[in-house]
Amino acid sequence: MTARAIVAEFVGTFCLVLAIAGAALFAAPSAGLVAVALAAGISVVSMAYAVGNISGAHFNPAVTVGLIAAGRFDSAKAPAYIVAQVLGGAAAALVLSVVLSSGIGVKANTFVGASNHYGGTGQFGLVASFLFEVVITALFLVVIVGSTSRKAPSGFAPLAIGLALALFHIIAIPVTNASLNPARSTATALFAGTGPLSQLWVFWVAPILGGVIGGAIGRYLQEE
């Protein structure tokens, strides 16, 4: 593992969170959830092509842990990757916070609205939200492991992964605001107050559990 790989994970996660949270804050009020889903997918495609050859383009603690379960990543490298991902996401949220605070009369969402959530009026409950995050993250890892296998068409993995992430955001935004990524969840929760912070554990445990399940399934299917 090199310092460049850690910086690549920081930069990639910074871009991903800037895209997702930025779209949720500024684009979603007028363009809707599809704008957020497209921002997620496009940012992953872009950064995977940009720095994937350096770090593997995880940009997500659940992906890092899932790739360990798939036998694709050394567990000793995971802590440094995860720290870089969380810091990259937090840095992006900080930039968005500064921009949001300078707006006067701007039609924008809040960090509470951009954070992942469950329970409350008009929201799904804990069990449904937890289950859904496990399932969609597991499927996401199946796509990652399969599209990056030796048997897959060369060079198309970022497209498959980006399209899958956009798809899962379209499905999951109405349920949990679509986490699939503890670094993304942490980034917005840090600026959203006690409510999202108190629920943050769900958006660490469920995606990581889903990542392990999906990584194991992908490993079995690809027989690597």
Q: Is residue 121 scored above 90 in pLDDT?
A: no
Question: What's the whole-number mean pLDDT along residues 118-125?
Answer: 90
Q: Is residue 196 scored above 80 in pLDDT?
A: yes
Burial class (CB in 10 A: 0-12, 13-18, 19+), 155: exposed
The predicted structure's pLDDT at residue 211:
98
The predicted structure's pLDDT at residue 145:
97
Mean model confidence pLDDT for the chain: 95
Query: pLDDT tens digits for 198-212?
Result: 999 999 999 999 999
The residue extents of the domains of the chain are 3-222
The predicted structure's pLDDT at residue 107:
85
The predicted structure's pLDDT at residue 193:
87
Q: Is residue 52 scored above 70 in pLDDT?
A: yes
State the greatest distance between any 2 C-alpha atoms of the chain, in Å, as a whole number.
Answer: 56
Kindly report each contact of residues 26-34 with a partner whose C-beta sits within 8 Å and lies 24 or more positions away, as own/partner: 26/108, 26/109, 28/109, 28/114, 29/107, 29/108, 29/109, 30/107, 33/169, 33/170, 33/173, 33/174, 34/170
The predicted structure's pLDDT at residue 224:
59
Closest to 124 in 3D by CA, of 202, 24, 63: 202
Q: Is residue 29 scored above 80 in pLDDT?
A: yes
The CATH architecture to which 3-222 belongs is Up-down Bundle (1.20)
The predicted structure's pLDDT at residue 32:
85
Query: pLDDT tens digits for 143-172?
Result: 999 999 998 988 899 999 999 999 999 999
